[in-house]
Structure 1
Amino acid sequence: MGGIADSFQVYDLGHLGLVASILDQIDLVQTVDRFVGPRPGEKVSTGMALKAAILNALGFLTSPLYLFSHYWEGKPTEWLLGEGITPELLNDDRMGRMQGRCIK
């Protein structure tokens, strides 16, 4: 067949696209990162991890933290969260570090 239809991917975003856009409009990621500062070798900033946690929580899921990355499988993480962000990077270790840094 071929053609233009072969170059598209379809995702069911539900409400996530709208919420991600609102979080971008209020500069959540940049504000959090400005307060907590960067960490060497960090692939997902604290602000970005918090944005992912908010989007996950608004998915009305109550799964354990070690399953956090599974929530993002099949979702366009690069579109919702940023270039280079994959479900594998949103693991329980990263989310635990984010929670610890936000509490301080």
Structure 2
Amino acid sequence: RFVLATNGVDDPSLDGARMLREYKAQQPTERGFRFLKDPLFFTSSVFLKSPARIAALALVMGLCLLVYTLAQRSLRQALDAAKQTVPNQAGKPTAKPTMRWMFQCFQSIHLVTLSGMRHIVNLTEEHLWILRFLGAPCRNYYFLH
């Protein structure tokens, strides 16, 4: 048990159960903003003077968060529909991976051009397994039509 307080005392529809639901519903949003502050996403300080540029940067960061969240949701839904898992950071199966972890998994993959031929290097069976659940556009990106 814990205490929940509100300044919405005049709202009769805000009973204890609804207040708790609203409070718990904030967690995914808060997690998203934590992603935006992560040093892996935002590696150094940025100094902007113009309010228009600050607004533009906020818009771009918000769009990045939207794409990140939609990709994570899509991956988790695909895993759930197939009743499958992917390995987490500790190598244990999970049906709810984060996109941050998926992005880190794919960091070692590179496109190399040798004698005019393009090659994908470091693409493992684990990557191929994950790509099954990320959809055709991702597979096409890695030339896996």
Measured against the shorter chain, the TM-score band is 0.3 to 0.5
Larger Rg: 2
TM-score, normalized by length of structure 2? 0.26
Which structure is richer in relative contact order (CA contacts within 8 A, separation 6 or more)? Answer: 1
Q: More helix per residue: 1 or 2?
A: 1
